[in-house]
Amino acid sequence: MKKRLLYLLLAICFVLQTQVVFASLVTMYSADGRELIVAESEIEAQKTVGWFTAPPVLMYSADGRQLLVSGDEIELYQNVGWYLEPMSTMYAPFDRTIAVPTWQVQDYVNVGWFTTHDEALYNEIIPQIQYALSVTDYNGAIDICDDALDKFWDYENVFFEDIVNTVYVVMDTWRATVKQPVAAISSYVTDSYGIKQANIVLRNISYKEISAIELEFNCYNTFNEPVKYYGFGSSQFDGYAQQMSFGTLDTQSWHWSLYGYSETDRIKNIKITRVAFADGTVWTR
């Protein structure tokens, strides 16, 4: 009786031990479909050499990357931007982006999205240039182009070349409109130790460097009345600027002291009368 009881106890222990052993074994999976049974204590080591705790699944990022992940980690990867099907990033003006299934790319293109950031940026900039030209804001159009060229930094970029050509078109149109090689962008009057000063911001819209300019403008007071030279002469002021280094499309600010025009509050009718270029040629109105 005692022997039977002993054998029974030994059998129970064997069964329990066997169950513990099998309970501590785990099936792992490879990318090529193989399976491997390992102890729980070996799981991490097997992960480092490419085995997974569940059948692996190929996941995709919006920028074209691919990654094999364990089937029991799919949701974790979805939460950080991975997908179960090939994805593509689409772009729209003003830095908008969206990740869409690759098979839907053409559908998004048809409603105004683009497949590259540069193409979206170009289609953001062109309407701005067109609007500036529609209101004859040539200076604003060139500033938009300058900003665009900073963004399209690659000289071989097709959009960079197109923006450069647009700059030339704007410059030629501007010059033909004002009929002079220098444009007055803005003007204002300041007071320097009791002497009024006319400040004029100029832009070179010619293809040559400028070394000197002559200009004229009329002086007006706060009531928009002409201010005559010492109260008796003309309201017209003639100004000169020499020893300039004024390159194509450069913007420079120049000022002239308005001696004899002490009541001046604003200036009008700015005209460039002569321009001397660095190559020795002279333009005259």
- pLDDT digits 0-9 by tens, 148-198: 888 887 667 788 889 999 999 999 999 999 999 999 999 999 998 889 999
Classify strands 25-29 and 35-39 as parallel, antiparallel or unpaired. antiparallel
Chain segment 25-77, per-residue pLDDT in tens: 999 999 999 999 999 999 999 999 999 999 999 999 988 899 999 999 999 99
The region, left, alpha or beta by phi > 0 then psi within -120 to 50, assigned to residue 135 is alpha
Q: Are strands 87-92 and 96-101 parallel, antiparallel or unpaired?
A: antiparallel
DSSP letter at 213 equals E
| pLDDT score at 1 | 56
Q: Return d(Cα 108, Cα 102) in angstroms, integer.
A: 10
The pLDDT value given to residue 17: 47
pLDDT band at 104 (very low <50, low <70, confident <90, very high): very high
CA distance 51 to 65: 20
pLDDT at residue 67, as a whole number: 92
pTM above 0.85, yes or no: no
The span from the CA of 11 to the CA of 19, in Å, is 12
Residue with the larger pLDDT of the pair 18 and 105: 105
pLDDT confidence of residue 244: 84
Rounded CA-CA distance 216/238 in Å is 4
Rounded to the nearest 10 degrees, how much is the dihedral formed by the CA atoms of 69, 75, 76, 78? 90
Sign of CA dihedral 168, 132, 136, 246: negative
Residue ranges of E strands in 108-226: 182-192, 195-204, 210-220
Mean pLDDT of 74-102: 93
Tokens representing 267?
């200036």
> Which pLDDT score is estimated for 53?
92
Q: pLDDT digits over 223-274, tens only?
A: 999 999 998 889 999 999 988 889 999 999 999 999 999 999 999 999 999 9
pLDDT digits (tens, 9 = 90+) for 114-144: 999 889 999 999 999 999 999 999 999 999 9
- Hey, which of 12-16, 79-83, 216-220 has the most confident mean pLDDT? 216-220
Q: What is the pLDDT of residue 15?
A: 44
Per-residue model confidence (pLDDT) at position 21: 44
| Residues sharing a CB contact under 8 Å with residue 130, sequence separation 6 or more, in sequence order | none
- Cβ contact 185:139 at 8 Å: yes
